[in-house]
């Protein structure tokens, strides 16, 4: 998901809508905005679909007045796909003794089911199926006297990944879990401030990027400025390495580094780890493009757009059903036949999950007359599900959980298939020594199976580590 908030700006809703539009890659299923103004109090709008199809109408935006607002774009993770109700769409709002507050959450609370069960037994009435709603109910039960203190109380009960933006009548609040699994950044715009999942959302509104909210940090922002505190115990951060590979936008800055540069460097590492004799390096667009550029630069094999993407399709994995997902590849990608015919082609993609995409692309590219196909993958084999807010299917559906690299190569039916090593990926992400064995610098559980936070709800449901 993506979150965005702005405070002390004129017509905050417009900024929020623009910010969410820049974060649309983080979630395309639905979006919502809440604002507050002295005249109209809290006002909200929640809609299915894209930001540009909803939050561009003057009629709707006029209903969201005020100089403070937050918003959310939703990406549904396993279990809820296709079943989302409008009441699952964030931001969520609650009335408290000291006034209303709204929250928007990116990540996944790994003990939310246990919390929900306990709260329901004690009388809470949940409206949605979302793990994030726990936060509002926990805030309601806190005895603290400010929203920020109540939010701290609530989040101290929550495990897992959370980058949360909250708003009251006058304050914008941002918090990251102690591992900092999901991103959250702070920007300055005129006399106001903005919080966003990624820096690309600051760019679109012309805000200056000040800094990242640190793992385990809370900032409370109003017209007087930014007050920072540390509600959680300090620990080594474990930012999601898949954000670097795929999830974030390449024009965002994370950990002081451009995501594009990290992805290009993954291609460089891949060319060193898995060289091959070939005529062309082609990305599977768009996610594979920066890594393909790096692979081409390091290997000296010319870069070419052998596959063309139809810009008007969403990402295939966001499509709800398996059937549509299977068709989706062809609807979205087409082979540039004139270029490919008779060539030995290196195809660079960001990840292999179920293997559906790779299989279809191989078919298309052989049909177009390629002489050889070599897959190079910009992440290690995806062998484990993510429980921290990225949608990966259950283990049995992950190709790499069932097959060795050679078996996958034979299954997809290509001349060669190589994945970047975990160490190579860490080097590309700026860790010159590679992955630290004692305390890895990132979360990489979907590749390593080492979960930095025990997924307790899933274990209660029978998931085995």
Pick from 157, 45, 39, 38: which is nearest to 91 by CA?
Answer: 45
Cβ pair 69, 35 in contact under 8 A? yes
194 binds ligand 5GP (CB under 6 A): no
Q: Is the peptide bond before 91 cis (omega within 30 degrees of 0)?
A: yes
Binding ligand 5GP by CB under 6 A: which of 296, 356, 379, 441? 356
| Residues annotated within a binding site | 240, 386, 443, 446
Pick from 266, 240, 265, 262: which is nearest to 251 by CA?
Answer: 262
Binding ligand SF4 by CB under 6 A: which of 75, 388, 419, 426? 388
**Chain-centroid distance, C-alpha 335:** 28
182 binds ligand 5GP (CB under 6 A): no
350 binds ligand 5GP (CB under 6 A): yes
Pick one of ligand SF4, ligand 5GP, none as the site partner of residue 415 (Cβ within 5 to 8 A by kind): none
Pick one of ligand 5GP, ligand SF4, none as the site partner of residue 350 (Cβ within 5 to 8 A by kind): ligand 5GP
CB of 360 to ligand 5GP, least distance (A): 8
**What b/e string do you get for 362-399 counting C-beta neighbours within 10 Å, with b at 16 or more?**
bbbbbebebebbbbbbbbbbbbbbbbbbbbbeeeeebb
Pick one of ligand SF4, ligand 5GP, none as the site partner of residue 352 (Cβ within 5 to 8 A by kind): ligand 5GP
Interactions with ligand SF4, residue window 321-340 (CB under 6 A): none
Distance CA 154, CA 166 (A): 12
Distance CA 321, CA 328 (A): 10
Cβ proximity to ligand 5GP, 17 vs 377, nearer residue: 377
CB of 404 to ligand 5GP, least distance (A): 16
Active-site annotation holds for 134: no
Per-residue x/- track, 372-391, ligand 5GP (CB under 6 A)? ------------------xx
Interactions with ligand SF4, residue window 127-186 (CB under 6 A): 181
Cβ pair 21, 51 in contact under 8 A? yes
36 binds ligand 5GP (CB under 6 A): no
**What b/e string do you get for 108-134 counting C-beta neighbours within 10 Å, with b at 16 or more?**
bbbbbbbbbeebeeeebeeebebbbbb
Number of residues engaging ligand 5GP in binding (CB under 6 A): 19
| Residues annotated within a binding site for [4Fe-4S] cluster | 240, 386, 443, 446
Binding ligand SF4 by CB under 6 A: which of 12, 151, 219, 240? 240
DSSP 397-461: G-HHHHS-HHHHHHHHT-SEEEE--HHHHHHHTT-TT---SSS-SEE-HHHH---SS--HHHHHT
Interactions with ligand 5GP, residue window 255-274 (CB under 6 A): none
SS3 state of residue 267: helix
Pick one of ligand SF4, ligand 5GP, none as the site partner of residue 168 (Cβ within 5 to 8 A by kind): none
SS3 state of residue 341: coil
> Which is the catalytic residue, given 1, 134, 200, 282?
1
Pick from 452, 426, 395: which is nearest to 179 by CA?
Answer: 452
Pick from 14, 122, 138: which is nearest to 71 by CA?
Answer: 14
CB of 451 to ligand SF4, least distance (A): 7
Interactions with ligand SF4, residue window 427-456 (CB under 6 A): 443-446
317 binds ligand 5GP (CB under 6 A): yes
241 binds ligand SF4 (CB under 6 A): yes
Active site residues: 1
Binding site for ligand 5GP (CB under 6 A): 246, 284, 287, 315-317, 349-358, 390-392
């Amino acid at each position: 998901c993506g979150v965005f908030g702005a405070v002390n700006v004129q017509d905050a809703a417009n900024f929020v809508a623009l910010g969410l539009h820049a974060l649309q890659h983080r979630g395309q299923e639905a979006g919502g905005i809440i604002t507050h103004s002295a005249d109209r109090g809290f006002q909200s709008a929640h809609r299915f679909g894209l930001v540009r199809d909803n939050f561009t109408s003057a009629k709707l935006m006029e209903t969201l007045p005020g100089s403070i607002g937050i918003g959310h774009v939703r990406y549904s993770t396993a279990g809820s796909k296709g079943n989302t109700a409008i009441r699952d769409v964030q931001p969520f709002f609650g009335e408290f003794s000291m006034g209303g507050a709204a929250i928007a959450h990116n990540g996944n609370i790994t003990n939310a089911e246990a919390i929900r069960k306990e709260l329901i037994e004690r009388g809470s009435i949940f409206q949605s199926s979302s793990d994030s709603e726990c936060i509002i109910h926990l805030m309601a039960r806190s005895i603290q006297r400010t929203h920020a203190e109540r939010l701290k109380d609530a989040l101290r009960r929550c495990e897992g990944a959370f980058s949360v933006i909250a708003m009251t009548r006058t304050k914008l609040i941002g918090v990251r879990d102690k591992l900092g699994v999901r991103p959250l950044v702070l920007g300055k715009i005129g006399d106001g401030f903005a919080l966003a999942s990624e820096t690309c959302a600051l760019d679109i509104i012309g805000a200056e990027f000040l800094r990242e909210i640190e793992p385990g940090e809370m900032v409370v922002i109003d017209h007087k400025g930014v007050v920072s505190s540390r509600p959680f115990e300090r620990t080594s951060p474990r930012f999601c390495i898949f954000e670097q590979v795929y999830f974030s936008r390449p024009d965002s800055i994370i950990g002081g580094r451009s995501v594009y540069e990290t992805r290009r460097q993954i291609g460089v590492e891949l060319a060193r780890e898995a060289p091959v004799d070939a005529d062309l390096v082609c990305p599977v667009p768009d996610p594979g493009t920066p890594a393909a550029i790096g692979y081409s630069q390091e290997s000296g094999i010319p870069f070419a757009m052998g596959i063309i993407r139809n810009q008007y399709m969403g990402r295939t994995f966001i499509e709800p059903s398996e059937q549509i997902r299977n068709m989706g590849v062809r609807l979205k990608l087409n082979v540039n036949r004139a270029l490919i015919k008779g060539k030995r082609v290196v195809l660079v993609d960001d990840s292999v999950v179920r293997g559906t995409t790779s299989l279809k692309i191989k078919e298309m590219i052989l049909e177009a007359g390629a002489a050889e196909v070599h897959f190079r993958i910009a992440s290690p084999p995806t062998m484990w599900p993510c429980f921290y807010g990225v949608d990966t299917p259950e283990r049995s559906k992950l190709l790499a959980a069932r097959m060795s690299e050679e078996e996958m190569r034979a299954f997809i039916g290509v001349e060669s298939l190589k994945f970047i090593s975990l160490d190579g990926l860490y080097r590309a992400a700026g860790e010159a020594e590679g992955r630290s064995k004692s305390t890895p610098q990132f979360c990489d559980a979907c590749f390593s199976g080492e979960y930095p936070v025990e997924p307790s709800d899933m274990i209660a449901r029978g998931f085995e580590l």
